[in-house]
Amino acid sequence: MSLDSIRLEGVTTHNLKSVDVSLPKGKLIVAAGVSGSGKSSLVIDTLFEHSKTLYLGALSSKSLDMGDGDYQFDRIAGTQPPVALRQRDGASSNPRSTVGTLTGLDGLYRLLFGAGSRPVCPACLGPTGADLFCDACGCFAEPHSAKHFSPNRKEGKCLRCDGIGELVGFSLGKIIPDRSKTLTEIWDGADPGTFAVPNVRKAFEAMAADIGLDLDVPFEKLSPEQTERVLHGSDTVYTLKIRKVTNDFRFEGILGFLERAYRNASSAARKNAFTNYLGREICPACHGGRLRPESLRATVAGHTFPDFQGDELSRSIARLREGLASGDVPAQVRELATAIVRQSANIEDVGLGHLQLRRPVTTLSGGELQRLLLAQHLASDLTGVMYVLDEPTAGLHEADTGRILDSLRRLRDLGNTVIVIEHDESVIRAADWVVELGPGAGSRGGEIIFEGRFADLLKCGDSPTAAAMASHGPARTRTDLSGAPWLEVRGITRNNVLDQTARFPLGALTCVSGVSGAGKSSLVAGIHASVSRAITQRSTGAAESAGIEGAEFLDDVIHVEQRPIGRSSRSTLVTYIGISDHLRDAFTASEEAVKRGLGRGEFSPNVAGGRCESCKGLGLAEIEMTLFKSEFIVCPECEGRRFQEHVLDVRLNGRNIHDVLSMTVEDALAWFDAQSSPKVVQALSVLSEFGLGYLQLGCSTTTLSGGEAQRLNLASELLKQRRSRTLFIFDEPTRGLHTADIRHLLALFERLISTGNTIVVIEHNVKVIALADWVIDLGPGAGREGGRVVHSGTPGELAADPASVTGRFVRRLRDEPAAAVPLPAPEEGSPASAAPDLGVIGELLPRAVTVVAGTTRQSERKGPTPYGLVIGSLTVVSDELALIGFLVRSGSTSWNAIADTGRFCVNILGEDQRTVSEAFSQGRPDSRFDALTWTPSANGCPRLSDALGTIDCDLKSSYRIGDHEFVLATVAGVDMETGTGRRPLLRAEQGDSTLDDYGWRRFAREAEAR
């Protein structure tokens, strides 16, 4: 076996069919395939879990003996220390955990302020001198340390809120939400165990009679003095007889009683009785900053600690960079500030520059959390590691994918093996090695369809991925909007969305698009809240709130979020869709079960009696580890079958309960009888229709991907027989879906729309956006730069909108024919595959000014750096062989960096891009792309977003000609912008006098030297 590869042999984990595969080390590897084909089973459940077992076991063979994991194989060799960055990691983290604490930036900022800020006067909060003495007050300030900027330390925390930033107290708005109700109604409607207890009510009624307060008067009609008595009571003591016991009572008021009772509550259950009346408000002392006043006033480079905590990371980076450049950052912390900038830049590079350090981790999506962990590893400089990532582009806009690819390459270029499970075409194209599993899902998958380079994948006739790339994508018939009712929600304000209006047609498909962090989820949450409120008000007869029109056409609203379903590992597919009782009843009614006296409970893995008591019916045994989180192995007692032997001996049509729970949905459909089990067959049919036929009936819902969970959630909703007039809201329903599987999703949408329902989806998939009936696009940027509706209209109108980033990608999808993708290999017996057609560029190349771009390996600054150089002209050497040629100077730094990669992208500049040509001719080689917007081309090299055309090339050879090299390259693909009227930037327009014989721009200093 080669030491340069990781070899897996005979892998039969889950649906894998004795898979053999080799993965080259030190490469960016993408595992592709349709949903459920076995990608996670191979990469995560087998390779990663086994590698983790090996390396943890090596730490201590006694204390960390892991036993056998839930994977099966014949041999795995050549593995490396593994690190998995999964979307579910950290999902159950501490609710107090923030972006700052997770990344460690909070600690670095505390050190920065502890050593770099000057203390202010503790009395007047004014400036102090070099000796920390305040001339105005005559007080000395205490020297700062990192503790003074921690809300968890006595030296730094705000004493008013104890470092929480909020005050928790009883809210009058929650106690009396409807001030039109009478005092009697308020007491009748009070939560049990609160101020409605008999002695409090009797004391109140006695006080009311004493002061002449009418109990049938609405609360809003009370005078200020009466309101004071109701809320805070009086000092009068009344002798009352309650339940045959006579005592003296004083009414202390609603608020007085709640505060005393809550403070003196001796149990959590007693405190929970008051939860509905508790509210939160920003601490008036620290205004949410959590620190004492002296710490809040301290500054570094003119900015306070809360400034850096509350601002977006991209703004914080800019502030520190400005401070370093101007010298405002003290010398003793300049190195620390530089480290903060570097680490924050890693987070910005993965598309998370809009996050705030104080943002709770629990509010991050799975994709955001995974990218945050990725940014941490980019700063760690680990080498020789095997990184495993599960869909790192999940939740990313097309415009942000290039940053993720750059980060993945940086990990690879550090000397690591990077294995990515991914559906995104850009990531697959950029891979050094592709492994595709399939051809189908579940029992129809589990085989290696292809392993090799991307260029060869496109020639694989058996590849669903290649077929999807070569096709025009999914299709649907758009809804006729003429005469359709419309819903309009005005004044949506949430997070970065400020006073926006969302308007879209009912009975149709609407996509909410925009770059990551633009405010899509906030806008949709506002729509959901407004529609829910309007429907509730209509059902109760209350006056409908202003700011919404068209809600009368809706009877319900369902928000299907992109979150794991089932908080417990005991939640399974059959329990979630409600057919577990039907399965148990079927077994309970069997002749053998009746003979043994077994009831429904014995066939439940959650009830003692029939389940395996060693693993409590989970099928897995937990191994507690001192240093690490607990691990699980297959239960040695029941061997993963969950039940005791006397239960497993009961068979129904030859299958026991474990056999049935191990069936896939498709197998179960064929096994169950529609006459005897109609509800089971109906539920399984819906799952199969949703493309979930490969899932096992007994699989835990906590193991499902986001896309699977969302489809299962939708299936559960449809099984409730909700007919029409419902607004369904989906959060990125295509996440986790292969391009070939999107047709299942669109079919479900059509089914819902055809029965009178409305669908709104938050979506990044350009192919789905282009098929929508209506698009609401937010932006133009992320965070504070976003939050505005930049476009609302049809996909065609969006494509024509120059202000929309999403529109640019929809336009590109519309203008690029499927033939722009290199075609698969011809069928057997046909001529060799044709070379790309160079006719579209052949006429303009000899005079066009072009940019040749490639990506280098690791640089000293921040990883792989895009390099590029301007060439005056290219030559089509051979149409038949798809060869082009051009001249470069020998020893060119830029060309040497490009040549090392062996592949590059030629960007043909448009007539409106003269400044780009000049910037490339005169800028430093490693900074020529800094001011430009670029995305990865098909071969993963930098493609200028506004280029007239691009040519993806593989370096073939070069020949020395004097001081120059003549380069020959084979063309892998051509992508030209046609039909727009734009023309290429030609040499003649630049002025021939500025170019030498080889098309190079002469520098002024060279002309002077001559």
pLDDT tens digit string along 512-562? 999 888 999 999 999 999 999 899 888 777 666 788 999 999 999 988 876
CB atoms within 10 A of CB 1001: 18
Mean pLDDT of 82-108: 76
Cis before 780? omega within 30 = yes
DSSP letter string, 501-523: EEEEETTSEEEEE-STTSSHHHH
Q: Is the pLDDT of residue 833 over 50?
A: no
d(CA 835, CA 841): 14
Between residues 638 and 55, the one the model is more confident about:
638
Examine the pLDDT at 940 and tell me if it is beyond 80: no
DSSP strand pairing (903-908 vs 850-855): antiparallel
Q: Which secondary structure element, helix H or strand E, spans residue 850, and what is its range?
A: strand 850-855
Sign of CA dihedral 193, 198, 202, 205: positive
The whole-number average pLDDT for the span 109-127 is 93
Give the pLDDT of residue 624.
Answer: 65
State whether the Cα torsion 985-988-993-997 is positive or negative: positive
The CA-atom distances, in angstroms, between 736 and each of 29, 512, 733 are 18, 18, 8
Residue 510 CA to residue 320 CA, distance in Å, equals 41
pLDDT reading at 47 higher than 60: yes
Q: pLDDT grade, residue 2 (50/70/90)? A: low
- Give pLDDT tens digits for 70-89: 677 888 999 999 998 876 54
DSSP state of 731: E
Question: pLDDT tens across 355-371, in order?
Answer: 999 988 877 776 678 78
Lowest mean pLDDT among 27-31, 298-302, 635-639: 635-639
| Residue-wise pLDDT tens digits, 900-936 | 777 888 988 888 888 887 777 666 666 777 777 777 7
SS3 for 365-425 is CHHHHHHHHHHHHHCCCCCCCEEEEECCCCCCCHHHHHHHHHHHHHHHHCCCEEEEECCCH
User: In percent, how much of the chain has pLDDT > 70?
Assistant: 86
Question: How confident is the model over 945-955, as a mean pLDDT?
Answer: 85
The residues pairing with 952 across neighbouring beta strands, listed in sequence order, are: 905, 973
pLDDT in tens, 233-260: 888 888 888 777 788 888 999 888 888 8
For residue range 988-997, what is the model confidence (pLDDT) as tens digits?
Answer: 544 444 444 4
pLDDT band at 813 (very low <50, low <70, confident <90, very high): confident
Q: How far is CA 939 from CA 398, 433, 528, 624, 903, in A?
A: 16, 12, 42, 46, 7
830-854: average pLDDT = 63
Residue 822, pLDDT score: 37
411 exposure class (CB count in 10 Å sphere: 0-12, 13-18, 19+)? buried
Residue 821's pLDDT band (cuts 50, 70, 90): very low
Instruction: Tell me the per-residue pLDDT of 168-218, one tens digit each, with 9 for 90 and over.
Output: 888 888 888 888 889 888 888 888 778 878 888 889 999 999 999 999 888
pLDDT at position 386 is 95
Buried b (16+ CB within 10 A) or exposed e, 145-162: bbebbbbeeebbbbeebe
- Please state the length of the chain: 1010
pLDDT in tens, 452-495: 999 899 888 889 999 888 877 788 888 999 999 999 999 999 98
Q: What is the DSSP letter of 449?
A: E
